[in-house]
Amino acid sequence: MSAAAAPRLSPVALMLVILGAAIMAAPLLWTLLLSFKPNADLMRDSGTAFSAPYTLENYAAILQGSSLVRWLVNSLIVSLGTTIGVLILASLAGYGFARLDFPFRRTLFVFVLLGLAVPEQAVILPRHQLFAWLGLHNSYPGLILPGLVGPFGVFFMTQYFRAIPKELDEAAMLDGASRLTIFWKVLLPLTWPAQATLGVFTFLGSWNDYWWPLISATRSDRFTLTIGLASSQMNYAQTSGLGFLMAQAVFASVPILIVYVVFQKQIVRAMAGTAAR
Amino acid sequence: MRRRAGIGLAAAATLVLASCGQSEDRSDIYVQRFFGECGAVYGALTDVGAAKGECGIVTALFNAFKAENRDVGFDVNVVAWPGYAQLAAQMAAGDPPDLVTMHQSVISDYQSRGLLEPLDSILAEAGIRPQDFTEAARRGVTRNGAVYGLPWDTVGGLYHVNTRLFAKAGLMRDGRPILPGSAEELLKQARRFKAATGKPYFIQSQVNDPATHVRNLYSFLLAQDVALFPDAQHIRLRTPEARRILQLFRTLEAEGLTTRNQDNPAAIGSFLDGDGGVFPTGTWMIGPFEQEATTKGRPLHDAYAVFPYPRLWGHAAAYVDGHAWVMPKRSRTPAQRRALVRLFRFMAAHDFDWSRTGHLPAFKAVIDSPRFAALPHRTDIAPLARIGAPLPGMVRRQGAIEGLVGEEIAAAIAGTKPIDAALADAERRVNELLAQQQ
């Protein structure tokens, strides 16, 4: 749809949208502002955020922290590893459920969907014991593998494959293409918007994950960024190191921001598509 | 090609031999702590005296230990405060650290499940005698007659006082604040303070901070010799003593003699800005407040004093907790044990350095020493180590209990729940929690 054809908002609706945006943006701007203030000033009064002096010392303290780069790399490895793994598995499973006919297909699909109803809290103890038994704690596989079990991804990709006309498969089959070729060369390229959406959501979920890394990565050289930044705070960080705390929050959100900026179109398109369905 | 293979084989053999040797004589120890990460500032500092704050001092201490004990592999893991989720996970996975920081109030949770080593023999090897601990510290780490941690300090609530406002209210004598000697006197002084200064007597952190009210309740119940926990499975809160403590704080709240709706950062900001007379908070705030008191132009400049809670009922008493170093149960080589002996000795020898954080030392010799007395306000707060008492060692889940009790009594003090109902609900909820403990 071209920009010219976009419906115009009424002034009231526009005001409401601006108000909503301001409410959404205010905490982010507040965080940013606080991150540039000396901690001692904020300890007296966080209202000083609106007046000089401002400083970069909180960011300097983060960058001087010797383990920060390590935690950042760990987060990237875990988030990218999880994202790639989920995309591969969810695409294959989605294709299978949408296109292949095999015994207990419906039952299996329902079984996968049941996974959506099981909260992580319910499985965390057996999972932790299993990973301890396998010796996978404090390792990248230990951080990546649990994230690969994503019923939402399978459901999402199944629905997407189902929406693609079967005539495409049939035409390819007439041309002598195998199932794998159809999947790889015909259908998979058509699922790019879904892949992008699922990839972004998986990446964000993995990047922000706190609980599993907290109990699985207990050695600081395997901390992800969320755990590493939390470990660097003292008990009363919100009091004596508020600026530093906010700088950490800003720093940790930069990669996420980049992902949003790069994949903005895909995210919006996918959300709109999901809503329309 | 053959030469490369030969080099590869030789390297592999060397590695195997080296690792065999390591497994038998390993002296590397793995220590886990909270208190934050401040390697950027203190990462290379070994002069402990030059470090400031909890994180700085503990980091410099470990640096110094490392420098003095180069034959010991010393690995420090800093975890997010308070680190018990990770510790529980590490224990479940069979890979706990050799030494870990633990609040003394939490020791029972782990000791009762047989997850901690009793330290009597290893402390004896290090030349550390439990009779040298302060009374509060000794009680804090002793369970069933055995010592389960090297006490590191005593942490408790204190009355941080703005002496300028106290003087304005005529509540100073010979340069020292006049603290109340009874509940009635407290109310009288608080009313007088407000009339003279226009400000509330108390600054309190009441939002998201159950510890504030619980510290008051426990301290004043201890002062009246109330058996708060008659046994390990029950708390007793429906008592006249508990009722009158809550009634006092309800009256203070209702008459506007305290700040309202402030969380901890807001309460600290209020105290620094001179918005009230007394801020009951912990030992850990002495450093930041003293810094303000010595900074010209600040509202607290030359106007700060700090004391243990006053005796309002019964005798002088205070509820305290503390930090300790505990050894989770796991297999260790004799060399690792020897390294831990050295570390315990080192930590005990540096208890004074740690007391610069504001926490009270765990050793009597340090608390009685001239150099401790020379630190700001320390002679005023030293009695806390004598009058301070933790909850009985048999009580488990003390952190969770604090949350439950704090929630109920906060409702009573705010006036949203009758006092009797709040005490009954707190008692019921805690007893339900304790009934789940095996």
A·B CB contacts under 8 A? 93
Average pLDDT over residues A163-178: 91
Interface of A with B in 165-224 (CB under 8 A): 214-216, 218-220
| Contacts with B90 from chain A: Cβ below 8 Å | 218
Confidence band of B437 (pLDDT split at 50, 70, 90): confident
CB-neighbour burial class of residue B9 (10 A; exposed 0-12, middle 13-18, buried 19+): exposed
Contacts (Cβ under 8 Å, ≥6 apart) of A25: none
Residue A268's pLDDT is 76
Q: Does B288 touch chain A (CB under 8 A)?
A: yes
Architecture of domain B156-320+396-435: 3-Layer(aba) Sandwich (3.40)
Contacts (Cβ under 8 Å, ≥6 apart) of A262: none
Contacts (Cβ under 8 Å, ≥6 apart) of B278: B159, B160, B161, B162, B201, B202, B203
pTM: 0.83
Question: Rounded to an integer, what distance in angstroms lies between the CA atom of residue B280 and that of residue B303?
Answer: 16
CB-neighbour burial class of residue A257 (10 A; exposed 0-12, middle 13-18, buried 19+): exposed
Give the residue from B76, B54, B55 showing the smallest Cα distance to B65. Answer: B76
Query: A261-270, B76-85, B252-261, B264-273: lowest mean pLDDT where?
Result: A261-270
Residue A235's pLDDT is 63
Q: Does A45 touch chain B (CB under 8 A)?
A: yes
Give the residue from B281, B286, B282, B284 showing the smallest Cα distance to B305. Answer: B286
Select the residue of B79, B88, B92 nearest A231 (Cβ to Cβ). B79
Q: Which residue has the higher pLDDT, A270 or A255?
A: A255
Please tell me the distance in Å from B36's CA to the nearest CA on chain A.
Answer: 4
Phi, psi angle pair for B173, to nearest 5° = -140, 125
| Contacts with B211 from chain A: Cβ below 8 Å | none
How many CA atoms lie less than 13 Å away from B273 in the CB half-sphere? 18
Select the residue of B38, B54, B92 nearest A129 (Cβ to Cβ). B92
How many CA atoms lie less than 13 Å away from A39 in the CB half-sphere? 16
Four-CA torsion B430, B390, B232, B242, nearest 10 degrees: -50
Q: What is the rounded average pLDDT for all residues in chain B?
A: 92
Average pLDDT over residues B265-272: 92
Question: Rounded to an integer, what distance in angstroms lies between the CA atom of residue B219 and that of residue A196?
Answer: 58
Question: Rounded to an integer, what distance in angstroms lies between the CA atom of residue B332 and that of residue B321?
Answer: 29
Residue B6's pLDDT is 54
Question: Rounded to an integer, what distance in angstroms lies between the CA atom of residue B269 and that of residue B275?
Answer: 9
Give the CATH superfamily of B26-154+322-389: Periplasmic binding protein-like II (3.40.190.10)
Q: Is the pLDDT of residue B317 over 50?
A: yes
Select the residue of A43, A67, A234 nearest B272 (Cβ to Cβ). A43
Residue A264's pLDDT is 81
Average pLDDT over residues B180-192: 97
Question: Rounded to an integer, what distance in angstroms lies between the CA atom of residue B392 and that of residue B143?
Answer: 9
Q: Is the pLDDT of residue B21 over 50?
A: no
Q: Taking a C-beta distance cutoff of 8 angstroms, is the pair A210, A227 a contact?
A: yes
Confidence band of B44 (pLDDT split at 50, 70, 90): confident
In tens, the pLDDT along B112-156 reads 999 999 999 999 999 999 999 999 999 999 999 999 999 999 999
Residue B427's pLDDT is 98
Question: Rounded to an integer, what distance in angstroms lies between the CA atom of residue B152 and that of residue B104?
Answer: 10
* DSSP three-state, residue B308: strand
Q: Taking a C-beta distance cutoff of 8 angstroms, is the pair B324, B103 a contact?
A: yes
Per the CB < 8 Å rule, is A43 touching B36? no
Q: Taking a C-beta distance cutoff of 8 angstroms, is the pair B183, B240 a contact?
A: no
Residue B170's pLDDT is 97
Identical fold, B26-154+322-389 and B156-320+396-435: yes
Q: Is the pLDDT of residue B67 over 90?
A: yes
Query: A65-74, B166-175, B341-350: lowest mean pLDDT where?
Result: A65-74
Give the residue from B84, B53, B8 showing the smallest Cα distance to B400. Answer: B84
Q: In this structure, what token pair is assigned to residue B18?
A: 């080296």
Question: Rounded to an integer, what distance in angstroms lies between the CA atom of residue B83 and that of residue B78?
Answer: 9
Expressed in angstroms, the distance from the first to the final Cα of chain A is 18
Q: What is the C-alpha R_g of chain B? A: 24
Per the CB < 8 Å rule, is B86 touching A215? yes
Q: Does B260 touch chain A (CB under 8 A)?
A: no
How many CA atoms lie less than 13 Å away from A244 in the CB half-sphere? 25
Query: A242-251, B126-135, B233-242: lowest mean pLDDT where?
Result: A242-251
Please tell me the distance in Å from B224's CA to the nearest CA on chain A.
Answer: 31
Q: Does B81 touch chain A (CB under 8 A)?
A: yes
Measured CA distances, A149 to A154, A202, A222, B284 (Å): 9, 11, 21, 45
Please tell me the distance in Å from A206's CA to the nearest CA on chain B.
Answer: 19
Average pLDDT over residues B48-66: 93
Residue B231's pLDDT is 94
Q: Is the pLDDT of residue A97 over 80?
A: yes
Q: Taking a C-beta distance cutoff of 8 angstroms, is the pair A142, A131 a contact?
A: yes
Q: Taking a C-beta distance cutoff of 8 angstroms, is the pair B313, B183 a contact?
A: yes
Per the CB < 8 Å rule, is B265 touching A242? yes
Confidence band of A238 (pLDDT split at 50, 70, 90): low
For an interface test with A, give the residue of B33, B55, B57, B79 to mutate (most A CBs within 10 A). B79
Residue B113's pLDDT is 93
Q: Is the pLDDT of residue A64 over 80?
A: no
Q: Taking a C-beta distance cutoff of 8 angstroms, is the pair B283, B155 a contact?
A: yes
Per the CB < 8 Å rule, is B89 touching A215? yes
Residue A4's pLDDT is 52
Question: Rounded to an integer, what distance in angstroms lies between the CA atom of residue B409 and that of residue B422?
Answer: 6
Residue B22's pLDDT is 46
Question: Rounded to an integer, what distance in angstroms lies between the CA atom of residue B423 and that of residue B294?
Answer: 43
Per the CB < 8 Å rule, is B273 touching A231? no
Average pLDDT over residues B417-428: 98
In tens, the pLDDT along A213-230 reads 998 998 888 999 988 888
Confidence band of A262 (pLDDT split at 50, 70, 90): confident
Per the CB < 8 Å rule, is B78 touching A220? yes
Average pLDDT over residues B342-347: 97
Query: A58-62, A151-155, B194-198: lowest mean pLDDT where?
Result: A58-62
Place of tokens 């080593």: B117
In tens, the pLDDT along A75-94 reads 999 999 999 999 999 999 99
Per the CB < 8 Å rule, is B37 touching A44? no
Select the residue of A44, A215, A233 nearest B85 (Cβ to Cβ). A215
In tens, the pLDDT along A185-220 reads 999 999 988 898 899 889 989 999 999 999 899 888
Q: Where are the domains of chain B?
A: 26-154+322-389, 156-320+396-435
Confidence band of B1 (pLDDT split at 50, 70, 90): very low
Q: In this structure, what token pair is assigned to residue B150?
A: 């090297």
Q: Does A130 touch chain B (CB under 8 A)?
A: no
Share of chain A above pLDDT 70, in %: 92
Cα B30 to the center of its chain, rounded Å: 23
Average pLDDT over residues A150-178: 92
Question: Rounded to an integer, what distance in angstroms lies between the CA atom of residue B68 and that of residue B342?
Answer: 10
Q: Which residue has the higher pLDDT, B170 or A232?
A: B170
Confidence band of A62 (pLDDT split at 50, 70, 90): confident
Select the residue of A131, A215, A238 nearest B265 (Cβ to Cβ). A238
Q: Taking a C-beta distance cutoff of 8 angstroms, is the pair B80, A215 a contact?
A: no
Per the CB < 8 Å rule, is A234 touching B81? yes
Question: Rounded to an integer, what distance in angstroms lies between the CA atom of residue B313 and that of residue B302?
Answer: 31
* Kind plus residue range of the DSSP H or E element containing B183: helix B183-197
Q: What is the rounded average pLDDT for all residues in chain A?
A: 87
Residue A240's pLDDT is 67
Q: Is the pLDDT of residue B2 over 60?
A: no
Q: Does A238 touch chain B (CB under 8 A)?
A: yes
| Contacts with A44 from chain B: Cβ below 8 Å | 269, 272-273
In tens, the pLDDT along B370-420 reads 999 999 999 999 999 899 999 999 999 999 999 999 999 999 999 999 999
Question: Rounded to an integer, what distance in angstroms lies between the CA atom of residue B127 and that of residue B236?
Answer: 40
Please tell me the distance in Å from A238's CA to the nearest CA on chain B.
Answer: 7
Q: Is the pLDDT of residue B267 over 70?
A: yes
CATH of region A53-276, choose from 3.30.450.80, 1.20.200.10, 1.10.3720.10, 2.60.40.10: 1.10.3720.10
Q: Is the pLDDT of residue B435 over 50?
A: yes
Q: Does A137 touch chain B (CB under 8 A)?
A: yes
Q: Which residue has the higher pLDDT, B66 or A252?
A: B66
Q: Does B94 touch chain A (CB under 8 A)?
A: yes
Could you tell me how many helices (H) and strands (E) chain B has, helices first?
A: 21, 14
